[in-house]
Structure 1
Amino acid sequence: MLFPHSLTRASRAALPLAVTAALVLGAHPATAQPTTTQPTSAPDAPATTAPADPPTGTDRVIVKFKDTAAPEAAKEKAVDAAAQDALAGARTPEVEDRVKTTASRADVLRLDRELDEGEQQKLVSELRADPTVEYAEADRLASVSWVPNDTYTNFQWSLWPNQGGVSFTSAWDLSRGNGQTIAVLDTGITSHADLNSKMVPGRDFIADTDLSRDGNYRDANPRDEGDWSAAGECSPAARNSSWHGTHVAGLAAGVSQNGAGIAGAAPGAKIQPVRVLGKCTNGWVSDIADGVAWAAGAPVAGEPANPNPSSVVNLSLNYPGQCGPTMQNAINAAVNRRVPVVVAAGNSSVNAGGTAPANCENTIVVGASSNTGTTASYSNTGAVVDVLAPGGTDQFPMLSTVNAGTTTPTGGTYGNMYGTSMATPLVAGTVALMKQRDPAITPARVEQLLKSTASGRLGSLNLDPAAAVRAVAPVSFTVTGGIAAKWRETGGAARWGNPVTNEADAANGGRYQEFVKDGRKVTIYWSRATGAHIVENATLVGRKFIAGGRERGYGYPKTDEARVRGGAYQVHRKGTSETKVLWSPATGAHAVKETGAIGGAWKRAGLERGWGWPATDEYRAGGEVQQRFSNGVTAHWTPQRGTWTMR
């Protein structure tokens, strides 16, 4: 069985919450027991905040020619030629005008369109290769360094290098982890204002009803049922629930910039809770291994496929002995899908080579540092430890999200813990920041960059998030053809963000490409019959399309999503069939088969202005096909009678 890596003790008076007694566990998380009292007064928010990031795109380039007196026409021609060579296949930018000359006599030139980060790199590289050019760089808009306005960030010493933490505030100027998902394999999750909006569907993998406390086996509900224990049950003294998974999730990716609570290491990332630890904070290796594989998108016998595979797996837990094939195979399955597995070194002040999964191959092993940057006294050490991250001490613990319940969940609050369990999600969050820059980066490369950029008082171990993120070159993806035309004419990077994939094959000869802006993904689909149209993945209309099987289900989008009075809709075409997905606040999102018998009658009756918005999809009942609509109409169809309605 496994244990979490956390400890808890009384905290310094300056913190908003105190901590209580330490956890003593067999196979358990690596953190400390939090207190669950609300602070009586909120600490001041950081003074410096910025409402938004500076844009990543630019339409300006700075070029210093060796012959600064060369004719302007010759300089512009050189830039145009470089753009033609560097950006072949895209709409080639041209010099529109000269903005100014800098103090060092470099020319600032404006192009006729904005370049994304990848295009900037290509153009600048081409210009630097020109023997007439002394140097070249993109001219970018700058902003003040981003600092979240969350109420308790002043108490999160781990975020501030001048307080003994590491460079997260600088890393956030480069990446927030947008588009990434962190799987937290732990005690599950509880409802919390700093977490709820970050959740993607997870799973409960506890197959032992003695541990699960929910009275059933594996299911789709990863709620933390409480890991409390009575006196003598798991330890001599009774113990309250730790809410360990909730605490770890907050450190990894808690909501930021909402004027309340704490900020996570990867504030733009999502969280996938996978419940593997139950009563007494224990869990079976066989369940945890299945959770690792499932979180990464690998098949697990008897379990449904994970529709939202995570980008990185966090394991703030350990168990004694060597890594066996069950856990190693699960880790390998994740790594083979380019999903790094970040694990806690453990809290026993021993060599981590004697505890699993820290001694498993292909893992990123995290030890804990104190607020002075030295190895925390409790942290396991040894050659298998790849990096140290702030894990806290009894006097300087780690503040994060917890629950106010002593046994079962009640309301969300904040509490302090310390341990390698707390250090691990800071590294998992850093990995999410790195993977925003290059989603295809391999776990081996992630580990190598984390280690090579580490710095601090120990010289080669202290996590440096900003340096690690900076070491990952942003991936450049090409946008061409009909998809590129649709992207640009509807707002381009400014509206939809930059591409995070190259164009790829879709069903029945079509194509698709994905774009992300501020964590929101859209997919542009193209087919010969429908042209290019945009599916907004995050809207309820977009989610319905995805749940319906994407283009293999409803077909290719024939329109973009349209907002109309009372709701929104999008039309899809598959062969000769057309399906309209409609959404209203009262009915949710449902599909009408417009070329079907019921859908055709609905259209003739005046669409949503007649029968109303669809309140269900089509369904079978009593030998009939039926569908209900918001104006009290239920449509019926049989082959013998055709379509009729009842109110």
Structure 2
Amino acid sequence: MGVWSRIGRQFGVVVAVGLTCCVAARAAPVDGLIVKLRDAPAHERAARLGAAEQSQHTERLQRVLQTERMTEARVRPAGRDAQHLNFGRRLSEGEAEALAARLRARPDVEWVEPNTRERLLQALPTPNDPYFRYVSPTDLGQWWLRPDGETTGGQLPSYGAPGVQNAWAWQTGRPSAVVAVLDTGITAHADLAGRVLPGYDFVSELEYANDGNGRDPDPSDPGDWVSQADITGNPAVFGTCPEQPSSWHGTIIGGIAAAATNNSQGVAGVNWNGRVLPVRVAGKCGATVLDITDGMRWAAGLAVPGAPLNPNPARIVNISFGGSAACGGLYQSTVNELASVGVVVVAAAGNEAAAITRPASCSGVVGVAALARDGLKASYSNFGPQVTVATVGGDPDADDGLLTLINTGTQAPGADSYGNVFGTSFATPVVSGVVSLMLSVNERLTVAQVIAGLRATARPHVQSAGGVPACSSSNPNTCVCTTSTCGAGVLDAVGAVRYAASPPPPAGGSDDGGGGALGALWLLGLALAVAALQSLPQVRGGRRA
């Protein structure tokens, strides 16, 4: 691949950002509102109350709706203690905001937000070059899993790689550190055989579900393609959706985190023995906030009305969908609830070379920005102060992306295969996989300790000697990261695993889950461990079909 021109990288990004701008200008319809009354009891608690007390809380909401002339709205539970208002039709963005403003003005309403459709945080459009998506005899394999700084084949040094192979010397992973993949569902793949736990389908709207039904126990991915016939034949539903083939996004995410490893077949995953919990929240055109948050709660083992309890709760929830609005009450309360039961939420920053999307922007979420192989910010990656850490997502102007599992179908599922992908969507399961290694070492880690460990052990961001500018609103594309734009630093897998084995107590000496300051002896031990591991022999990438 040789030395890449930084000017060429920036020029390519200008075109991509222009395309993103033009597509995003059309607002998608809104599926009702989500409202939380002040002092509303949790749904589980309300179900245990007597009929008279339940009626009292129901009447509170009905009085609000009657006063605001919204009695046509059908009500169902949302999250822990909120309600979803379905008006029997989709609302325009302006209409939804006007209705929400009326409800917010009521003294007994704590918050209201539209149930918007969050978009798939997919990478740059895939070109149709014959060998772009398929592995050739000369491709670089899974360089993103091998030790950081590698220059095999005369490539740019892989300063953006987390060095997962070094971490495997300490921990290859346990099946108990389950990663829930909230995505498009899952397809059968030989390299995921025996790794997929029973999941659930939370896509509630039939028009977008694409499987002929609503919520059910089948998380299979039927495809999320949108054809021109869809768009022209049903513009009210698909008119704001981009035309695209099926992405098989959930299968790709699962493969990065937990593809079968050391099995003489295909590719490796971050966790050699990992388990994937597929939670289908997205069909055609993305996913609604309500479906995502219900999926988050179910994945964590919490009760969701209408769905059975999840018998295999996850410790990590991976989300590669998002929207440009502020975090919002439902997302934040759900993240807080998951943290209270020890579940880490890891979310993609987004791919518009702009501000970080939600839920990555929510407090307590591990927000992930994407780097190119050389450690510079990937040209498409969003950035900002809410990013927790950055790691490789690939950049087609600097490397060949992340080699992992794919499906060859363009609409319905086709044959399983392997290919290269780019995006913050795919940087996110790299982090989720490393968190699963941390929890494999120490399952007692709290969410606060996991986040503190990722931050404390991150390597400093790469500083360019070639005149590439720092990331800013005026330089949003290929740029040099700082701690205020791309998180604490570059994900360091071995450092994070070492941290998990013996997390330092917070200031004051108590071990209440905080990150605390690192002692000099601990830092010295970490430095020696990293130096020793960097001298380990490297392994060759596996052969691919």
TM-score range, shorter chain: 0.5 to 0.7
| Matched AA of 1:31 | A
Of 274, 298, 304, the match for 2:302:
298
- 1:155-214 per-residue CA deviation (whole Å, 9 max, x = no partner) reads 112112115122100111111220211000001100001112210111101011111111
Tell whether 2:190 aligns with 1:193. Answer: yes
Confirm or deny: 8 A CA contact 2:209 2:284 kept in the other structure: yes
Of 166, 172, 177, the match for 1:176:
172
Matches within 5 A, 1:334-483: 334-352=338-356, 355-395=357-397, 396=399, 397-458=401-462, 460-473=488-501
Tell whether 2:279 aligns with 1:277. Answer: no
Tell whether 2:331 aligns with 1:327. Answer: yes
- The match for 2:261 is 256
TM score, norm. by length of structure 2: 0.60
Q: Report % sequence identity.
A: 38
- The match for 2:122 is 30
Confirm or deny: 8 A CA contact 2:346 2:365 kept in the other structure: yes
For the residues of structure 2 that align with 1:217 and 1:290, how far apart are their CA atoms? 14
- 1:534-559 per-residue CA deviation (whole Å, 9 max, x = no partner) reads xxxxxxxxxxxxxxxxxxxxxxxxxx
> Post-superposition shift, 1:351?
2.3
- The match for 2:40 is none
Confirm or deny: 8 A CA contact 1:38 1:413 kept in the other structure: no
SS in 2 for 1:359: coil
Matches within 5 A, 1:88-107: none
Confirm or deny: 8 A CA contact 2:319 2:345 kept in the other structure: yes
- 1:462-503 per-residue CA deviation (whole Å, 9 max, x = no partner) reads 00001110111269xxxxxxxxxxxxxxxxxxxxxxxxxxxx
| Matched AA of 2:218 | N
For the residues of structure 2 that align with 1:236 and 1:463, how far apart are their CA atoms? 34
| Matched AA of 2:121 | P
- 1:418-452 per-residue CA deviation (whole Å, 9 max, x = no partner) reads 11101000000000000011112011110111011
Confirm or deny: 8 A CA contact 1:298 1:333 kept in the other structure: no
SS in 2 for 1:27: strand
- 1:23-49 per-residue CA deviation (whole Å, 9 max, x = no partner) reads 9676113335668979988749xxxxx
Confirm or deny: 8 A CA contact 1:29 1:244 kept in the other structure: no
Confirm or deny: 8 A CA contact 1:32 1:416 kept in the other structure: no
How many residue pairs get aligned? The number is 344
Instruction: Quickly say closer, same or farther: Cα 1:244–1:37, change in 2 above 3 A.
Output: farther
> Post-superposition shift, 1:308?
0.3
**RCO (CA 8 Å, sep 6+): is it higher in 1 or 2?**
2
TM score, norm. by length of structure 1: 0.50
| Matched AA of 1:359 | S
Of 33-42 and 198-207, more deviation after overlay is shown by: 33-42
- Higher normalized strand content (fraction of residues): 1
Confirm or deny: 8 A CA contact 2:260 2:267 kept in the other structure: yes
For the residues of structure 1 that align with 2:250 and 2:241, how far apart are their CA atoms? 24
- The match for 2:89 is none
For the residues of structure 2 that align with 1:29 and 1:370, how far apart are their CA atoms? 17
- 1:89-130 per-residue CA deviation (whole Å, 9 max, x = no partner) reads xxxxxxxxxxxxxxxxxxxxxxxxxxxxxxxxxxxxxxxxxx
| Matched AA of 2:185 | G
- Higher normalized helix content (fraction of residues): 2
Confirm or deny: 8 A CA contact 2:134 2:420 kept in the other structure: no
For the residues of structure 1 that align with 2:456 and 2:135, how far apart are their CA atoms? 42
SS in 1 for 2:323: strand
Instruction: Quickly say closer, same or farther: Cα 1:245–1:259, change in 2 above 3 A.
Output: same
SS in 2 for 1:216: coil
| Matched AA of 2:499 | A
For the residues of structure 2 that align with 1:456 and 1:251, how far apart are their CA atoms? 24
Confirm or deny: 8 A CA contact 2:135 2:418 kept in the other structure: no
Instruction: Quickly say closer, same or farther: Cα 1:221–1:451, change in 2 above 3 A.
Output: same
Confirm or deny: 8 A CA contact 2:252 2:404 kept in the other structure: yes
For the residues of structure 1 that align with 2:242 and 2:416, how far apart are their CA atoms? 25
For the residues of structure 2 that align with 1:43 and 1:465, how far apart are their CA atoms? 28
Of 25-34 and 159-168, more deviation after overlay is shown by: 25-34
For the residues of structure 2 that align with 1:188 and 1:167, how far apart are their CA atoms? 29
Instruction: Quickly say closer, same or farther: Cα 1:174–1:223, change in 2 above 3 A.
Output: same
| Matched AA of 2:171 | S
- The match for 2:142 is 156
For the residues of structure 2 that align with 1:37 and 1:210, how far apart are their CA atoms? 34
Instruction: Quickly say closer, same or farther: Cα 1:41–1:417, change in 2 above 3 A.
Output: closer
- 1:45-100 per-residue CA deviation (whole Å, 9 max, x = no partner) reads xxxxxxxxxxxxxxxxxxxxxxxxxxxxxxxxxxxxxxxxxxxxxxxxxxxxxxxx
Instruction: Quickly say closer, same or farther: Cα 1:39–1:226, change in 2 above 3 A.
Output: closer
> Post-superposition shift, 1:215?
1.0
- The match for 1:241 is 246
| Matched AA of 1:30 | Q
| Matched AA of 2:390 | L
Instruction: Quickly say closer, same or farther: Cα 1:41–1:304, change in 2 above 3 A.
Output: closer
> Post-superposition shift, 1:237?
6.7
| Matched AA of 1:172 | W
For the residues of structure 2 that align with 1:218 and 1:262, how far apart are their CA atoms? 32
Instruction: Quickly say closer, same or farther: Cα 1:294–1:41, change in 2 above 3 A.
Output: closer
> Post-superposition shift, 1:303?
1.1
Confirm or deny: 8 A CA contact 1:368 1:389 kept in the other structure: yes
Instruction: Quickly say closer, same or farther: Cα 1:415–1:32, change in 2 above 3 A.
Output: farther
For the residues of structure 2 that align with 1:438 and 1:32, how far apart are their CA atoms? 37
| Matched AA of 2:325 | G
| Matched AA of 2:438 | M
- The match for 1:591 is none
For the residues of structure 2 that align with 1:320 and 1:159, how far apart are their CA atoms? 31
SS in 1 for 2:290: helix
| Matched AA of 2:316 | V
Instruction: Quickly say closer, same or farther: Cα 1:289–1:237, change in 2 above 3 A.
Output: closer
> Post-superposition shift, 1:254?
0.9
For the residues of structure 2 that align with 1:468 and 1:246, how far apart are their CA atoms? 26
SS in 1 for 2:426: helix
For the residues of structure 2 that align with 1:225 and 1:39, how far apart are their CA atoms? 21
SS in 2 for 1:291: helix
Of 451-460 and 254-263, more deviation after overlay is shown by: 451-460
- 1:224-254 per-residue CA deviation (whole Å, 9 max, x = no partner) reads 1111111244568742111111111111111
| Matched AA of 2:299 | A
| Matched AA of 2:272 | P
| Matched AA of 2:362 | C
Tell whether 2:211 aligns with 1:218. Answer: no
- The match for 2:532 is none
Confirm or deny: 8 A CA contact 1:297 1:306 kept in the other structure: yes
Confirm or deny: 8 A CA contact 1:30 1:344 kept in the other structure: no
Of 157-166 and 210-219, more deviation after overlay is shown by: 157-166
Instruction: Quickly say closer, same or farther: Cα 1:41–1:307, change in 2 above 3 A.
Output: closer
Which structure 2 segments of 5+ residues have no match? 1-18, 25-117, 152-157, 232-237, 463-481, 483-487, 504-545
For the residues of structure 1 that align with 2:342 and 2:276, how far apart are their CA atoms? 18
| Matched AA of 2:366 | I
For the residues of structure 2 that align with 1:279 and 1:440, how far apart are their CA atoms? 38
